[in-house]
Amino acid sequence: MSAVQDLPADTPAGPVAGAATETAQVRALLQMRELILSGELSGGTRIAELAIVERLGMSRTPIRAALVRLEQEGLLEALPSGGYVVQSFSERDVADAIELRGTLEGLLARLAAERGAPSVVLAEARQCLDRIDPLLTVPSLDDESFSAYVALNSHFHSLLYELADSPTITRQLERAASLPFASPSGFVLLQAQSTRARDMLVVAQDQHRQVLDAIEQGEGTRAEAIMREHSRLARRNLVEVLAAHPAEPLAGNMPAIRMIRRRR
């Protein structure tokens, strides 16, 4: 997720405003996914930017960015007349999309290890992980911490693609990220609301470090296997969310995942 900064970064308030803008965009994105997955915005529902602005009580800039991102992820379809319509898909669609992403990320990790990754990018990737570590020291993440995690996780995966220096495969990954939940940052807020969910993020963080180590050591096969397993962790996480809410809407803020068509 790239931040759209309202102020130039070279002004005194620039970095702070930029960080606040990015956090607002991530929060809008997470809340929009939550509305879709809860069934409050079910498949086939037409939505408009202004209606979402009023519903979430946020400014138009982060909402507009969230709508565009959700279209890129395949959760929304832009209408020629304006606005969007919510898409629906099957569990198999989701599983295949995540598997495809893992296959391509694994290939990039192997190429990075075999070709030799730039040390400056490796160092930046490790710094990114160092910023994630403090976020995972609590039993469960609040909305602000989870938003920060999502943004940093997205940045790490972008750096991973940069390590391989393969524009051809990266373009295919970008196409794969337009499939439902294939994006490495395709989280929902529910995934931060329990100790078990936090524990999965801790495992994912360890996989991040392990793949960097494999790349640095030139261990292509190991690097590829780690990233394949990394995507399977994301799939398992989503499957557990689905299993917890199998059919009908539940009380409170627990999503029913009604937009996902189940196989009969």
**What pLDDT was estimated at residue 145?**
85
pLDDT digits (tens, 9 = 90+) for 140-149: 888 788 888 9
In terms of C-beta density within 10 A (0-12 exposed, 13-18 middle, 19 or more buried), how is residue 127 classed?
Answer: exposed
Where does 90-260 sit in CATH, by number?
Answer: 1.20.120.530
Q: What share of the chain is helix, strand, coil (3-state, %, to 5)?
A: 65, 5, 30
Furthest-apart CA atoms within the chain: distance in Å: 58
**What pLDDT was estimated at residue 157?**
94
Q: Which of the 8 DSSP states describes residue 247? A: S
**What pLDDT was estimated at residue 182?**
78
The second-level CATH assignment, the architecture, of 14-87 is: Orthogonal Bundle (1.10)
**What pLDDT was estimated at residue 237?**
74
Number of alpha carbons in the 13 Å side-chain half-sphere of residue 145: 16
**What pLDDT was estimated at residue 102?**
93
**Ranges of the chain with pLDDT below 70:** 1-22, 37-38, 188-194, 239-264
pLDDT digits (tens, 9 = 90+) for 18-70: 556 667 888 888 888 878 766 778 788 898 888 889 888 888 998 999 899 88
**What pLDDT was estimated at residue 204?**
93
**What pLDDT was estimated at residue 83?**
87
In terms of C-beta density within 10 A (0-12 exposed, 13-18 middle, 19 or more buried), how is residue 40 classed?
Answer: middle
> Tokens 């009023």 belong to which residue?
54
**What pLDDT was estimated at residue 32?**
86
Dist. CA 105–CA 221, nearest whole Å:
13
Domain boundaries, the chain: 14-87, 90-260
